Structure formats: structure tokens, C-alpha cells
Structure 1
Amino acid sequence: MSTTKSKIGSFGGNRHTLTFVVCLCVSIFLWALLKLSKDVFREVSVGVRITNVPTDKFVSPLQKNSMKILVEGNGLSLLRLYAENPSLTIDFNDLQPLGDDRYRLSKTSREKLSNSYLSRFRIRNTISDTLLVKLEKKYTRKVPVLVHLNVNFQREYQLTELKVQPDSISVSGIKSAMDTLQKIDVYIKKKREVKSNFTEIYKPKNTDFVSYGANRIRIEGIVDKVSERVIRVPVELHNVPEGCQIKIFPTEVPVLCTGDLNLLKGLRTEDIHVVADFDQWQEKSTLPLSLTTPKKRIKLRFLNEKSVDFLMKRQ
């Protein structure tokens, strides 16, 4: 009996303690909310991004700038300011040069910043107005776009044409970045087997080191249900040495053509070029063959011979 009474007394004591703790937490929360709702002044340091630099220059990405400013706002806005870590954007034309890559905010720029807002915080004043801005020479050149396909096609279907627009992009940046940028790689992967045309959009992202002259690249894959046709094509001789007479064996080779049936029906021997080029001769008794066609959506490959034998007679 005494044990039961002690448990009841303990429960009653715990209940009073719990009530006290809850009331204390609510009071602290309301007090904090009241404090955070009041306007305060704070000196904060924020990052700076420089825009509209001279067209032949680039702001060195190794140079990071920050500025101390006096802001006004409630405590909730202050918490959001620290969480978001915003930055100021300053026009290069609003800076006054001081020498040695140092610049100062102009009077107009300071007035523009004052009473503007940064992440719901009102900027009241600039504590520091001097920035170190190192400009590097901008290098520009065209860089090709290289598409890497990881695509499987359904049976009897194949990629017959890949259109890339643009197929090269003008890229600008600092020398160290441009020296290593030889191409723009675009990777396309399809989880399912493909039997129809597909389109992908790739958006190059500007960085602190390089900027791209195009904001999107369109890749279109033309997929056809394919048939096959074999055409015998005569071999063309190019760059025959002067004063030499050449005989090749064989004089024509079979070429396997794959593509849409309607396109294959209209394909002529004259549309296919099999070339034996003496500029590719490597002191052997054979000449390698190359295979081209101006026709779109047709794929070619040698059925048997990839080279021809030849006899050379000097005149």
C-alpha cells in the first residue's frame, strides 16, 4: 500500500516538473521570437562579384573579394543572411582605379548600394570600399563539340545520322584554362533500347575560368529501320607519282551499304567513293582504301578488301 502511494506521489511530482519544463521552453521560444523580430544593425562581410569588365579581360578566378557592410534587419533575416551566404554584384564601371590592381567604389556606387537590399537585409553603409581586382588577358578560340553515345538500338535499327548544332563553340577564358581545353565533351546515355529519333539539349556552364559563346547545344540522332545492299564500286587512284603508270588489282570492290530502304533504292555507284591514295603508301605492295559518300543517313563498310595490290611502271 505504501509502495502504491509513493508511485502516485512520484507521478504527481513528475507531472509538475514536466509542466514547468514545457512552460519554460515556451517562454524561451517566445522570448527568442520577440528578440529575433526586432530590427538590429550588424556589420557583415559578404563576397563580391565583378561584372562588365573590359571585353578583352577576365577577372582572375584566384582573386576572391569581400566587402564589409552595415546592414539593418530583424534577427530572422540575419539568420537567413548567414545561411544563404549571398554576394554583392558590382559593376566594374563603378570602380575607381587606385593603382596596383586596387580599386575603390565610386561615390555613385556607394550611394547605389546604400538603402538597397541584400537577402531581405537593408544595406545602410559600406565599411570597406577598396577591392583588389586582378585582370587577366582573355583568350578566345573555337572548340569542337565531341558527342559520346552510350545507346543500344533495337534489332534492325541503327543510328544513321547525328546532328550537332553548333558543332563548335567560341570559348573565352584565362590562358591556363584555355591551354587545357581542347574539346567540349557531351555524354548521352539511354537506359532503354532505341528505335526512333531522339533529341538532347546540353547546356555548357560558365565558370570563373571560362565562358562559352553558346548557352545550349542541340544533339539530334536520326534512327532508321535499316536494310542492306551490296554495291561494287570502282577504285579511284589519287596522287599518283609523276612519271609513273599504276595498275591495281582488283579495280573494283564490293561495299556493304546499310540504311533506310528507300534511301538505299536511290543509291548509285557514283554516290560512293573508294579511294587508293599514294600519299598513304607505306613502301608496301598494297595501297589502303578509304570509303566516303556525300549521302546522309547511309553507312558504308568494306565487305572484303580494305586494300588493293598494285604494279608500278615508270615511264
Structure 2
Amino acid sequence: MAIIKLSAIERRRLSAFVTCLVFAIFAWLFTALSNPYKFTIKQVVTFRNAPQKRAFHPLQSDTVNTIVQGTGWQLLFAKFNEDKKVINVDLHTLDAKNYVVLTAQLKQINAKKDLDHEIISVSPDTLFFDFSSRTVKKVPVELVSAISYQKQFAQSDHIIIKPRYVTISGPAEMLARITSWKTDTVKMNGANEDFSGRVSLQNVREGNLDILPKSVMVNIPIDEYTEKTVEVPVKLINNHNYYDVKVFPQKVKVTLTTSLTNYPDLNEDDFEAVADLDQWRHNGYSTLLVKVTRLPSYSKVVKIIPQNVDFIVKK
């Protein structure tokens, strides 16, 4: 393959040519991107000043195509500003009409835009709405959580949410389908202490729904767990014929996990262990299986000794 050898003067000339070419390309790009252009951007519609006495439902998509006038630079940067592609539409005219003309609001829409380019037209230009009677309903708050606990730690009591209920208002047929309202996700990794904080509710996706309040206080008790063994009397159930039945042993040892906070206060009165006589009457069992039917909340039975008890029936 032939190799072109250039002299020192030729190399300097070639370097100067390449440098000038690069500068010329950048100058052309700068000039081209500085010229005004019209381009189309798809933007999400959000609503404000919704009518308080009329529930509404948009009859079109929540996005519109906007014709925007701006420089090539603004077109280039608009591609990277997805979070700013939102236009805010004022619905105050819906008190008397069932449509909103976006062209009439372009001045105020442009005044609130963060982007430097100007919207000159919107498609569709008119948004139509369907109306129905507005009702109010209270629904419980549903906590959404993704919590992983440090070893030997866990939730130790009921979660407290204040307020427990939120008020939603909107079309009756839409409210009939809503039975609760979820929070944003509470995320914790390696949790080893109580969580207490304000959690936002999930955003309203329909423009004709309102929710109050927008956030709630959440308290999640978290404690370290350990094992404890308690002797619990065995209670006989389903003795329908009132036989004289004696079980032995009369007490079983229940080993459970419980939080350190509750550990000192636990005693046999917090538990109920039962043996079902129907296991003998219907199935002919010679021993009865013991089950724990009552124990402190957020405690877990590890083992029962003995798991089965003997019995004597005197008819």
C-alpha cells in the first residue's frame, strides 16, 4: 500500500486546511441552529381552576400536539426536556360551557412555560368534556411499602396512619369504583428502628377527581425480636356431650418470637392453647393435636412441646 509522504510545509498547509474546515462546519452549524424554525412537540395537558360544582371527564387524550416556534438550539434541547413538556390549561370557562379553546389561552400558557420557545398553535385546538353530578366519598388510606428488615428485626405493632381516611370528590360512577387510596411507596432497606414521617398520596390521574389531604402521617413500629417460652394451659373444645375428659399434660410449653418491648410483659394469660375433642369423636385419634388460637399480635409460634396431648374420656 502506497504511503504518501508530505513535507513539513505540506503538513502545515494540510493542518491549516483541516482546522479551517472544522471551524467552517462549526460556524455553519451555529448559524443554522440560530435560525428560527417551527417544529411539533407532543405535550401533556394538566388542568387548573377546575369547576367545583361540576364533575367532568375529558373526551380526548391527555396529550396534544403543539406547533412551537424557536431556534434550532431550542429544538435540540427540547428533545432532552421531557419533564417540561406540560401545558397547564385553565378550566374556569367550564362553569358555563362544556369545552375549552386552547388558542384563547396561548398567551397565558406561554407565560407559564419554562422553555424559551413559543407555542403558536395546538392540535386539537378545542378540548371537550362530559359532565355528571359531583359527589363526595371517604375512603381508607392504603399504605404501599417495600421494607426489608435487618436480621432479627420486624414490624412490632399495627401501622398508624393519620388521617386514616381521605375525602375524594368527583363523578359518582367513578367514585363507586374506588374503595381505597394508595400512598407513594415507603422504601426501607435493613430497617432496625421505627419509621415516622409524612407520606404523599398517589397523584390523581383523572382531571375530574380531587382528593384531600394530599399526604398522611405514617408510623411503622419496628423492634428487635427474640424467643420466649411460656407454659400455657390446654383448653378442651367441642366437648358437645359434656364428657368428663382429662388431658395430660395439662399445660404445654409454647416457644414464640416476640419483640423486646413486649418480652417482659408476656405471660400465660396472653395465650390460648386448645385441643379439639372432635379429632377423637370423628376420626378416632388417640392423642389430640394442640393449636395456639390466641397470642399477642406480631408474635409467631416457633414450637409447642408437646405438640400432642393424651386424654382420658369418662362417659
- Map residues 72-111 of structure 1 onto 2, 5 A cutoff: 73-85=70-82, 86-94=85-93, 103-105=99-101, 109-111=105-107
With normalisation by structure 2, the TM-score equals 0.61
Indicate the residue corresponding to 2:23 in structure 1: 26
Preserved CA contact (<8 Å) 2:59 2:129: no
With normalisation by structure 1, the TM-score equals 0.61
Q: Which amino acid aligns with 2:105?
A: S
The answer to whether 1:122 aligns with 2:124 is no
Preserved CA contact (<8 Å) 1:95 1:105: no
Compared CA separation, residues 223 and 135, structure 1 to 2 (3 A): farther
Q: Which amino acid aligns with 1:17?
A: L
Partner SS state of residue 29, structure 1: helix
Indicate the residue corresponding to 1:252 in structure 2: 251
Preserved CA contact (<8 Å) 1:59 1:135: yes
The Cα shift of 1:57 comes to 6.3
Matched residue count: 293
Preserved CA contact (<8 Å) 2:194 2:223: yes
Preserved CA contact (<8 Å) 1:145 1:185: yes
Q: Which amino acid aligns with 1:48?
A: V
The answer to whether 1:232 aligns with 2:229 is no
Question: Which stretches in structure 2 are left out of the alignment for 5+ residues?
Answer: none
Q: Aligned partners of 2:72, 2:269: CA distance in 1, in Å?
A: 79
Summarize deviations over 1:245-268 as a string: whole Å, max 9, x none: 254634432222444678544433
The Cα shift of 1:66 comes to 0.5
% identical equivalent positions: 18
Preserved CA contact (<8 Å) 2:161 2:216: no
Which piece of structure 1 moves more, 128-137 or 22-31? Answer: 128-137
Q: Aligned partners of 1:261, 1:18: CA distance in 2, in Å?
A: 78
Indicate the residue corresponding to 1:303 in structure 2: 304
Partner SS state of residue 305, structure 2: coil
Indicate the residue corresponding to 1:164 in structure 2: 159
Partner SS state of residue 17, structure 1: helix
Compared CA separation, residues 35 and 118, structure 1 to 2 (3 A): same
Compared CA separation, residues 115 and 274, structure 1 to 2 (3 A): same
Summarize deviations over 1:271-313 as a string: whole Å, max 9, x none: 223356899999545576234334x675544422456677899
Partner SS state of residue 245, structure 1: coil
